[in-house]
A and B are shown apart, each in its own frame.
Chain A
């Protein structure tokens, strides 16, 4: 089974802090994704990566950056956290190919105070 592991289930940080969310997958997937999930807004794609050191903006990249130095690891960075970034963050990975599903981690519930 594919395993996508997010480093924290719950995280509390303060406004202005630099926040790192880590995601690791163990199935040698080319593609990795970061989403945020908010009530009434569904899942929104922040960034994704289709290869090491490659990244593409999703629908809501403002205030975020990402890093993919190794194939198995994809980090989401909040450069200066703000209260409107309080949310559930979901990481996913997938193989390339039209019929390949994305596999999700358990999520990180981030609160910015």
Chain B
């Protein structure tokens, strides 16, 4: 079945540091890939997505590239801010999957001033 493996957290960085959160996947079909962010006390928000190989999703300074050859979708940001502190979830969706989204376990990011 489909699965998503995320980098274990928590991750603690200083402001303006470079961020990478690793995400790899296993899928029977040809998935679309997503990153969601959850700020404290809130629901999940879509951060970015990519629907085919070599697509790069980007939003709010975050980027992730769909790498079919390595089955990866790593999240990156060049310079994090305190306001980026949140939990980040990688997810995939394949056609024909009745439940439609498979989530990773989430990575807690804390950015210190």
Q: Which of B24-81 contact A (CB under 8 A)?
A: 29-32, 34, 36, 41-46, 49, 51
A98 lies within 8 A of B32 (CB): yes
Q: Which residues of B contact A11 (CB under 8 A)?
A: none
B42 lies within 8 A of A106 (CB): yes
Residues of A within 8 A of B (CB): 4, 6, 31, 33, 42-43, 45, 48, 50, 56, 58, 90, 92, 94, 98-107
In the complex, B94 has a CB within 8 A of chain A: yes
How many residues of chain B get a CB closer than 8 Å to chain A's CBs? 26
A104 lies within 8 A of B44 (CB): yes
- Give the complex CA separation of A106 and B36 in angstroms: 13
Question: Which secondary structure dominates chain B's binding surface?
Answer: loop
Q: Which residues of B contact A90 (CB under 8 A)?
A: 43-44
Q: Which residues of A contact B94 (CB under 8 A)?
A: 98
Q: A100-B93, A107-B42 in contact; A56/B105 too (CB < 8 A)?
A: no
- Give the complex CA separation of A31 and B100 in angstroms: 10
B46 lies within 8 A of A103 (CB): yes
